[in-house]
């Protein structure tokens, strides 16, 4: 099994140089998106196209990119052309950090947990698709161009490998998607 990198929480002096953690301390830079069960704490909604970058020190971790909307998503894919890209599509979150899609809320911690198994040098795009009415429109960009029919969807970009809805809630399936080639 390949080395995954340090699991200890980041110390402030090493902020920006440690592997992305699953559970960030509340209020820290790592907090959005909120990953545990809803705790009522408010977190700032990430601005569109916000890019979180983790440096490659000490061991090459994966890269997480947070995007909102179809254009943003495509831009992120273009930017990381040539790399293995995983993408997670979720209903957009409100000001309190809660998504309108209840399955997405349930699936997110499972996906976050599964990220421990992601390959190094991989890119993980976290994509908020939009508000509920936009999503329900049968001609929305994600449906027409990416054939994403439901949220949450977790997929390996450019391959037929994907997990849809309840499949995202199954930890072993999520682990399988992230680690298998």
Partner 1 sequence: MAATAATAVLAALRGFFGRFRWRPQAPALAGGVRGAARSAAAGRPDYDLLVIGGGSGGLACAKEAAQLGKKVAVVDYVEPSPRGTRWGLGGTCVNVGCIPKKLMHHAALLGAMIHDAPHYGWGVPQQVPHDWSKMAEAVQNYVKSLNWGHRVQLQERKVSYFNMKASFVDEHVVRGVTKGGKETLLSAKHIVIATGGRPRYPTEIEGALEHGITSDDIFWLKESPGKTLVVGGSYVALECAGFLTGLGLDTTVMIRSIPLRGFDQQMSALVTDYMASHGTRFLRGCTVMSVKRLPDSQLQVTWKELASGGEGTDTFNTVLWAVGRVAETRNLDLEKAGVDINPKSKKILVDAREATSVPHIYAIGDTAEGRPELTPTAIMAGRLLAQRLCGQSKDLMDYDNVPTTVFTPLEYGCVGLSEEEAVARHGADHVEVYHAYYKPLEFTVAERDASQCYIKMVCLRKPPKPVLGLHFLGPNAGEVTQGFALGIKCGASYAQVMRTVGIHPTCAEEVTKLRITKRSGMDPTVTGC
Query: Which positions touch partner 1 (CB under 8 A)?
Result: 159-163, 167, 170, 172-173, 176, 180
Pick the closer one to partner 1 by CB: 79 or 159: 159
Pick the closer one to partner 1 by CB: 63 or 163: 163
Pick the closer one to partner 1 by CB: 25 or 158: 158
| H or E element that contains 162 | strand 162-164
Q: How many helices (H) and strands (E) does the chain have?
A: 5, 5
CB of 172 to partner 1, least distance (A): 6
Strand 123-128 and strand 63-68: the pairing is parallel
CB of 169 to partner 1, least distance (A): 12
CB of 30 to partner 1, least distance (A): 30
Q: Which strands make up the sheet holding 153-156, listed edge to edge?
A: 63-68, 123-128, 85-90, 153-156, 162-164
Active site residue 127: no
Active site residue 101: yes
Pick the closer one to partner 1 by CB: 118 or 163: 163
Of the residues 104, 122, 127, 168, only one is catalytic, namely 104
Q: Are 165 and 150 in contact (CB under 8 A)?
A: yes
Q: Is the peptide bond before 44 cis (omega within 30 degrees of 0)?
A: no
Of the residues 101, 122, 127, 168, only one is catalytic, namely 101
Best CA proximity match to 32, nearest among 51, 50, 46, 22:
46
CB of 2 to partner 1, least distance (A): 13
What span, in angstroms and rounded, lies between the C-alpha atoms of 141 and 135? 9
Catalytic residue numbers read: 101, 104
């Amino acid at each position: 099994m390949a080395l995954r990198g340090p699991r200890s929480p980041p110390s402030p002096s090493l902020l920006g140089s440690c592997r992305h953690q699953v559970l960030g301390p509340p209020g820290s830079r790592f907090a959005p998106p909120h990953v545990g069960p809803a705790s009522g704490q408010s977190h700032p909604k990430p601005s569109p196209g916000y890019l979180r970058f983790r440096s490659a020190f000490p061991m090459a971790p994966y890269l997480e990119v947070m995007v909102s909307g179809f254009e943003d998503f495509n831009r992120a894919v273009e930017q990381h052309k040539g790399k293995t890209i995983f993408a997670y599509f979720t209903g957009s979150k409100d000001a309190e950090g809660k998504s309108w899609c209840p399955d997405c809320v349930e699936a997110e911690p499972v996906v976050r947990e599964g990220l421990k198994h992601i390959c190094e040098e991989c890119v993980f795009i976290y994509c908020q698709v939009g508000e509920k009415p936009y999503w329900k429109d049968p001609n929305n960009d994600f449906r027409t161009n990416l054939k994403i029919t439901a949220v949450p969807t977790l997929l390996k970009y450019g391959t037929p490998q994907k997990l849809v809805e309840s499949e995202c809630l199954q930890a072993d399936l999520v682990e399988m998607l992230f680690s298998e080639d």
